[in-house]
Amino acid sequence: MDLKNPVEQAVILLRSRLCNPNFIFTLFSDSPDSNYSKLKYIISSSVTESCNNSVLLLGPRGCGKLAVLELVLEDLLREFPDMISVIKLNGLLHSDDNCALKEIARQLCLEHQLAFSKMASSDENSQFLIAMLRECGLAHKTVLFVLDEFDLFAQGKQRLLYSLLDAMQSVTSQAVVIGVSCRLDADQLLEKRVRSRFSHRKLLFLPPSREDLQRLLEHALLLPSGSDLPHEFVANFNSNLLNIFADKKFKDIMDTVFNTDSTFKQVLTFLFSALCHLDLKCGFLSVENFKDALSNIQRQPKLECLKDCSILELYILVCMKRLEVREHETCNFNSIMKEYKSIHDSFQTTDYYARDVCRRAFEHLLQRELISFLDNRGHGHSIEFRPVKLLISWQELYQGLKSYGSCPAILYKLVERETTT
Amino acid sequence: MSSEESPQITRRTTRLSAANSENAVDSSKSCALKPLSVNDLLYGNSPISLEELISSFPGRRGQIIELMSLLGPVNSPMFPTFVHGGSSTGKTSIVLNIFRHLRRPFVYASCITCYSPRILFESILNQLMLHRKSDSNGYSSIKRCDKPSDFVNLLREALSGVIGTLQGNAEKAGSKKAARWPNGKMVYLIFDSLNLVKEWEKSSTILPFLFNLYDILRMPEVGLIFISNNSLDTYYADTGFVEPFPFHFPDYSEDDLRQILLKHQVNKNLYSSFLDVVLRPFCRITRRVNELSTALLPLFKKYCEPLGDLGAVPNEDMKRKLYGHLQRHIAPSLNETFRVSAGLTSGASRSKDNKRKGIVKKLEACTSSYELDFHMSTSAKFLLISAFLASRNPATLDASLFDSTGGSDNRKRKRKSSAKSLEQKETTEQELLMKGPGTFPLERLLAIFQCLTSVAEYSPDAEYSSDVEGQGNRATMGDSGYIGSHVLLQLSSLCNANFITKGGSCPLEGSTRYRSNVSEDLVLKVARSVKFPLSKYLYRR
């Protein structure tokens, strides 16, 4: 093995931990009323009792629904080695029924070492599915269907859902349908006949509490003693980390992270960013790394965009704002130019440019998506006549002007005046 | 040659296939490109060091170091990263050069060239499966793939193949050839210009799919990098998507711009003194490198005019003189920052100057040119004028404007404008500003065109006598009332040039309506060039 220095090895180890959701969620799988145990109980009872079941896992994005499901499936595959076969579908890929049936057939063939034909029609695939369910039922083998992005399957005619849930109604089949969705009302999207066949079991996944977050930090970042890193380095790293955790500034940073967005994904992104800022020369994490990570995740994209604008583009934005304040329902490039001219006439600014130049600046603003056209289909009109609207608020514009640096004072005056009138 | 051979061929062949059968022998001798290997997933032939990388991108040191820390040491997994920033800020080139420095294998797909999901998927698969499109396989991709579900399955296979090869390479690390091999066991997928995907038809499924690709694949040996012009908050999705790690490339500051523009100049001191004068005003308009460099080029030529020796290092005195010479050119040049020159060669412009010496000085002073700087045929010019009049004037006025006397009634009754009529004038002016030019059907356009051409006095003058097309068109102008098919062809070429747009059709009438898209300045220039009294026909409210 090539000799990497231990810092690099430690960084690689920690990064692979953070990018691996299975590792993170093993922490939360021990308590008896966690979602992990409930889910495991539901599935294992339907496997052992040879009955059909369906369950929905709901929760905002980044709360570990799929990760916990993967852990449960791993454990069950170890416990009941030949009694389970898993079919995984994703709403983004397989929302079309034909695609979904083809994918189910492909996965079933893969698992049972059958030859899969890509040319099979969807009728053949669905008959194959029903036949396989019957065979698996006779062999006391449970088929688990995992439907990720469940709400996307519920668009359209819901034929796949109906056929799956209907096939489960027969006595000979043993199947469990597990739906995963970020929409909390995913079961309301189901048609009446589908919903009646669906057992209304729902497991809610929530973002972690503050104490869970603390446990997560230690679990993720403390180096294990059993790895092939030098013991001294591991001990130093861990003690340094524990000092940081006890630091008041760090606690404030963690409170900020928790208060803004406490889903697992956000916390993991924060930790990843802190890890990227780790100074390889000194080899340990520090509170500054976490501070940099906090500013990384607390971005204000519109402000950054405004700082990138040129002064002419700022003029155009201020003109649009003034027109908006005067309650013109729609404005287009021509009315903005009129306003621009009137500002120049009344204040004698130095920045008065020709119409072509202003039009190109206007197009830059459209590209940056600080303004946009009101109608999507109006391609008949030239760019000068199509109505546009501002996509930033007055506060963002004002803040952007303040942080611009070399912004001409006239623009401040114009924007400020509008707020007072 | 083929005509001699054709009697000998008994079955019917086309001339093309006969010609091809002769060339078939040559194609087999054509340069056989060697098959691709994993080593071709690198960028650039020779690696570059970190100092070279940082020095070749002035002002981007922070971004380079931070991006490299995001990628991490060799073989470390990473979160999908979303690189965003304005255009021409160096995102693509920096990402590719970082990969060149790190010597890690990657697959690059740009959504400009891959303009549909199928092309995007097939391009990535071709690169991963080391497939080159060539004559032997009929320039086809290795696998046909247009659905995301197929793409994921094929991608998994392809990625495992490449990662397996890389792992095999890593085990043979001691051999001499290892120096040219890529580093590490990870493969990176780079999606460039992602903001163009928002305009695709299936963008509402493809965008969340691409962002969720990392979670769907669940392969820690794959890294994803997205590059886009807009930030992540402009990507709307109904139920959201897994957000990648955002990374911002801010636009260059003035100092950075100065360093970048100085980089490839021969005489840095001269250019630096030029930039001292010029950069600040131009930066108030735009800070994009590509636009600034094209705008500053003609101005620099003017700056260097009084200098005899272009390699001279200017001292303070010379700088002041050069500035004095340049000063009056800066303001007009600012107003032409985005102007694309018509490409007149220096020879033509000089000869033109010799003819009209008197007007030249006056012309230089005004910002817009007096004459049309591109060529249009005479009938196209009249068609454009007719279209403009049709858009501007209401249809009810046509009868009075285009009557047999061939002129408009300019007897304006002088009335004292009351407050109400002034207000009305203002609202109509506002309406004109907001609504834009009106639409007209084809018949109205052709009717106006006929009237104009039958009435127009076409007196050829010294300039036009050399114009061959003018002579040809005089014949058609002479015949009254005859509109040939060439007029309709001219109309379609005007539509293609976006001077006239085809609007939607009125549901009652069912015919398409057109709208004129040109500004009044352009039409005035065109009218002047055919000596047409435009102002007589324009309806002034």
Q: Is residue B176 domain-shared with residue B260, that is, in the same domain? A: no
Q: Is residue B211 domain-shared with residue B335, that is, in the same domain? A: no
Q: Would you call A8 and B73 a contact, using CB atoms and an 8 Å cutoff? A: yes
Q: What is the pLDDT of residue B425?
A: 79
Q: Would you call B233 and A301 a contact, using CB atoms and an 8 Å cutoff? A: yes
Q: What is the pLDDT of residue B32?
A: 63
Among B209, B226, B249, which residue terminates a domain? B249
Question: Where in A122-240 does DSSP place strands (E)?
Answer: 142-148, 175-181, 201-204
Q: Would you call A382 and B220 a contact, using CB atoms and an 8 Å cutoff? A: no
- Rounded to whole angstroms, the Cα distance separating B6 from B18 reads 8
Count CB atoms within 10 A of the CB of residue B517: 24
CB pairs under 8 A between A and B: 158
Q: What is the pLDDT of residue A414?
A: 83
Check if B283 contacts A (Cβ < 8 Å): yes
Ranked by mean pLDDT, which of B29-43, B124-138, B170-184, B452-466 comes out on top? Answer: B124-138
Average pLDDT over residues B494-499: 87
Check if A61 contacts B (Cβ < 8 Å): yes
- Residue B152 reports pLDDT greater than 90: yes
Write out the residue range of the structural domain in which residue B41 sits: 37-249
Percent of chain A with pLDDT over 70: 97
Task: Please tell me the least confidently modeled range out of A182-196, B10-24, B125-139.
Answer: B10-24
- Residue B298 reports pLDDT greater than 50: yes
**Which of A212, A231, A234 is CA-nearest to residue A223?**
A234
Average pLDDT over residues A102-120: 88
Check if A273 contacts B (Cβ < 8 Å): yes
Q: How far is A380 from chain B (nearest CA, A)?
A: 5
- Residue B468 reports pLDDT greater than 60: no
- Residue B261 reports pLDDT greater than 70: yes
Q: What is the pLDDT of residue B22?
A: 54
Q: Which of B66, B69, B203 to mutate to test the interface with A (most CBs of A within 10 A)?
A: B69
Report yes or no on B25 lying in a domain: no
Q: Is residue B234 domain-shared with residue B302, that is, in the same domain? A: no
The CATH number covering residue B113 comes to 3.40.50.300
Question: Which of B:121-150 have CB within 8 Å of A?
Answer: 147-149
Closest residue of A to B337, CA-based? A357
Check if B66 contacts A (Cβ < 8 Å): yes
Q: Would you call A272 and B338 a contact, using CB atoms and an 8 Å cutoff? A: no
Q: Is residue B391 domain-shared with residue B332, that is, in the same domain? A: no
Check if B198 contacts A (Cβ < 8 Å): no
Angle between helix A409-420 and A311-325 (nearest 10) = 10
Q: What is the pLDDT of residue A313?
A: 92
Q: What is the pLDDT of residue B358?
A: 37
Q: Alpha helices, DSSP H only, in B345-481?
A: 346-355, 357-365, 378-392, 398-401, 419-435, 442-455, 462-465, 468-478
Question: Which of A:371-390 have CB within 8 Å of B?
Answer: 379-382, 384-385, 387
Residues 6 or more apart in contact with residue A350 via CB below 8 angstroms: none
Q: Is residue B388 domain-shared with residue B299, that is, in the same domain? A: no
Radius of gyration of chain A, Cα coordinates, nearest whole angstrom: 29
Report yes or no on B103 lying in a domain: yes
Closest residue of A to B207, CA-based? A92
B528 — pLDDT class (breaks 50, 70, 90): confident
Q: Which residues of B touch A264 (CB under 8 A)?
A: none
B222 — pLDDT class (breaks 50, 70, 90): very high
Q: How far is A250 from chain B (nearest CA, A)?
A: 22
Q: Which residues of B touch A354 (CB under 8 A)?
A: 335-336, 367-368
Strand partners, B441: B513
Average pLDDT over residues B471-481: 45
Q: Would you call A12 and B73 a contact, using CB atoms and an 8 Å cutoff? A: yes
Q: Would you call B335 and A15 a contact, using CB atoms and an 8 Å cutoff? A: no
Q: Is residue B102 domain-shared with residue B183, that is, in the same domain? A: yes
- Residue B117 reports pLDDT greater than 90: yes
Question: Which of B:4-63 have CB within 8 Å of A?
Answer: none
Q: Is residue B392 domain-shared with residue B483, that is, in the same domain? A: yes
Which helix (DSSP H) or strand (DSSP E) does residue B507 occupy? none
Cα distances from B233 to residues A269, A369, B246, in angstroms, run 17, 10, 10
Q: Would you call B79 and A307 a contact, using CB atoms and an 8 Å cutoff? A: no
- Rounded to whole angstroms, the Cα distance separating B416 from A283 reads 86
Q: What is the pLDDT of residue A284?
A: 85
Q: Is residue B391 domain-shared with residue B533, that is, in the same domain? A: yes
B486 — pLDDT class (breaks 50, 70, 90): confident
Q: Which of A11, A265, A302 sits opposite B73 (nearest CB)?
A: A11
Report yes or no on B113 lying in a domain: yes
Q: Is residue B201 domain-shared with residue B297, that is, in the same domain? A: no
- Tell me if the pTM is above 0.90: no
Q: Is residue B165 domain-shared with residue B54, that is, in the same domain? A: yes
Report yes or no on B361 lying in a domain: no
Q: What is the pLDDT of residue B142?
A: 85
For residue range B349-381, list pLDDT tens digits in order.
444 444 444 343 443 434 455 677 788 888 888
- Residue A45 reports pLDDT greater than 50: yes
Q: Which residues of A touch B50 (CB under 8 A)?
A: none
Q: Alpha helices, DSSP H only, in A139-230?
A: 150-153, 159-167, 192-196, 210-221
Residue with tokens 């010294």: B462
Task: Please tell me the least confidently modeled range out of A189-193, A238-242, B15-19.
Answer: B15-19
Question: Which of A:276-295 have CB within 8 Å of B?
Answer: 276-277
For residue range B36-80, list pLDDT tens digits in order.
777 777 877 788 888 988 988 988 999 999 999 999 888 889 999
Query: In chain A, what's the furthest Cα-to-Cα distance?
Result: 88
3-state DSSP call for residue B261? helix
Report yes or no on B49 lying in a domain: yes
A378 — pLDDT class (breaks 50, 70, 90): low
Among B249, B271, B290, which residue terminates a domain? B249
Check if A307 contacts B (Cβ < 8 Å): yes
Q: Is residue B99 domain-shared with residue B189, that is, in the same domain? A: yes
Report yes or no on B211 lying in a domain: yes
Closest residue of B to A353, CA-based? B335
Report yes or no on B232 lying in a domain: yes
Check if A344 contacts B (Cβ < 8 Å): no
Question: What is the CA A282 to chain-centroid distance, rounded?
Answer: 33
Residues 6 or more apart in contact with residue B230 via CB below 8 angstroms: A367, A368, A369, B84, B195
Q: Would you call B147 and A305 a contact, using CB atoms and an 8 Å cutoff? A: no
Question: What's the mean per-residue pLDDT of chain B?
Answer: 78
Q: What is the pLDDT of residue A274?
A: 92
Q: What is the pLDDT of residue B238?
A: 79
Check if B265 contacts A (Cβ < 8 Å): no
For residue range A223-260, list pLDDT tens digits in order.
888 777 888 888 888 999 999 999 999 999 999 999 98
Cβ atoms of B187 and B166 closer than 8 Å: yes
Q: Does residue B324 or residue A79 have the better pLDDT? A: A79
Q: Which of A61, A183, A369 sits opposite B242 (nearest CB)?
A: A61
Average pLDDT over residues B123-133: 89
- Rounded to whole angstroms, the Cα distance separating A400 from A403 reads 5
When divided into structural domains, chain B yields a total of 3
Average pLDDT over residues A289-311: 89
Q: Would you call A332 and B433 a contact, using CB atoms and an 8 Å cutoff? A: yes
Q: What is the pLDDT of residue B174?
A: 62
Q: How far is A177 from chain B (nearest CA, A)?
A: 19
Cβ atoms of A264 and A208 closer than 8 Å: yes
Closest residue of B to A332, CA-based? B434
Report yes or no on B9 lying in a domain: no
Q: Would you call A92 and B212 a contact, using CB atoms and an 8 Å cutoff? A: yes
Among B249, B274, B301, which residue terminates a domain? B249
Q: Is residue B323 domain-shared with residue B399, that is, in the same domain? A: no
